[in-house]
Amino acid sequence: MLTLGVESHRLSIVLPVLLSQEQVRILGCLVEKARTTPVDYPLTANSIMRAANQSTSRDPVVTYDQHLIERNVTELKEAGLLRFVHSPSNRATKYRHVLGEAWGCDDNELAVLCVLMLRGPQTVGELKSRTERLASFRDLESVEAVLADLAARPEPMVALGERAPGQKEPRWVQLVGEAPEASAYASWGTGGGRVASGGTGERIERLEAEVERLSGLVDELRRELGIPDAVHVGDESSA
């Protein structure tokens, strides 16, 4: 259970929140896409689904459908963690997170939480490498400082876990919501996450981001032409 309250450095809402695995993944996707593809942000339910189901930069890999996304974004709005965005020029509801305000987190803290939420337990070195598109950490010590701050909160948001079989270093875990069983992670017991050689992983991530961007453009074109699209969440306020 994560209790949100007044932090020393900024004001956050007072709300008990227990996030499901699906909600953790959805919020992680919103944080990631807000930083890496701001031109396509906020996201539609379709875009969130594609981001959640990516085969790279996700552990474990999931296959969510749009109804699951729509149900959970409604619950997250009620919890005060995201907002619905309506536009006269766009019939599709879009969604943006408000975690900086709700959790009292700065950009570096959100970057670290984002990777933990999307990729599961991480070493400090993995966090340094995998937050490069989200934040600018000078060195491992700066990542450790952020982790220490998040762990020292009255309601800790991260914790240092134990070493898994075959791993040399302990990994940090997120405490903002439920997590899969350790054995569900592809990196469990392998001594590290899935890393493609020769920069292949980064190229795949860029290609998937481009596919997602193009898919979003197709969705926009379908709506402009009046071609029926998937059902979206109904009347919700953007406040």
Inside any domain, residue 233: no
DSSP label at residue 204: H
Question: Is residue 233 pLDDT above 60, yes or no?
Answer: no
Residue type, position 133, single letter: R
Confidence band for 36, pLDDT divided at 50, 70 and 90: very high
213 and 98 assigned to the same domain: yes
Is the distance from CB of 130 to CB of 33 less than 8 angstroms? no
46 and 23 in a common domain: yes
Lowest-pLDDT range of 87-101, 179-193, 210-224: 179-193
- Greater confidence (202 vs 24) lies with 24
CA dihedral 68, 207, 173, 165 (to 10 degrees): 110
Domain that holds residue 69: 2-102+207-224
Q: How many domains does the chain have?
A: 2
Give the residue among 63, 68, 54 at the shortest CA–CA distance from 23. Answer: 68
Choose among 38, 13, 3: nearest CA to 153: 3
Same domain, 66 and 30: yes
Inside any domain, residue 18: yes
Same-domain check for residues 163 and 83: no
pLDDT at 239: 38
CA–CA separation, 10 vs 212, rounded Å? 34
Q: Tell me the three state secondary structure of residue 236.
A: coil
Report the CATH number that the domain containing residue 92 is assigned in CATH. 1.10.10.10
**What DSSP letter does each residue of 68-128 carry, written as one string?**
HHHHHHHHHHHTTSEEEEEETTEEEEEEEE-HHHHTT--HHHHHHHHHHHHH-SB-HHHHH
Token digits of residue 218: 């197709």
Considering the domain architecture, whether residues 89 and 111 belong to the same structural domain is answered as: no
Query: Is residue 219 within 8 Å of residue 46, measured between CB atoms?
Result: yes
Highest averaged pLDDT of the listed ranges 61-75, 79-93, 159-173: 61-75
Same domain, 112 and 98: no
Same-domain status, 7 and 86 = yes
**Length of the chain in residues, anyone?**
239
Identify whether 80 is part of a domain: yes
Instruction: Check residue 160 and give its pLDDT.
Output: 94
Alpha carbon 73 to chain centroid, angstroms: 13
Residue 89 lies in a domain: yes
Q: Does the structure show a pLDDT above 70 at 109?
A: yes
Same domain for 220 and 164: no
Q: How confident is the model at residue 172, as a pLDDT? A: 96
Position 227 scores a pLDDT of 76
Read off the pLDDT band of 210 (50, 70, 90).
low
Domain-embedded: residue 188 = no
Distances (CA, A) of 21 to 68, 84, 136, 156: 12, 21, 27, 18
196 is a domain residue: no
- Which of 149, 182, 215 is the endpoint of a domain? 182
Q: What is the mean pLDDT of residues 202-211?
A: 65
Who has greater pLDDT, 43 or 17?
A: 43
The secondary element (H helix, E strand) that includes residue 174 is strand 172-174
Query: Does residue 232 fall inside a structural domain?
Result: no
Q: Are 111 and 98 members of one domain?
A: no
* pLDDT above 60 for 237: no
**Judgement on whether residues 219 and 177 belong to the same structural domain of the protein:** no
pTM higher than 0.85, yes or no?
A: no
* Tens-digit pLDDT profile for residues 176-188: 999 877 767 766 5
Judge whether 45 and 93 are in contact, CB under 8 Å: yes
- 130 and 91, same structural domain? no
Q: Which of 166, 182, 198 is the last residue of a domain?
A: 182
Query: Would you say residue 194 has pLDDT above 50?
Result: no
Same domain for 178 and 213, yes or no, is no
Give a yes or no: residue 129 inside a domain.
Answer: yes
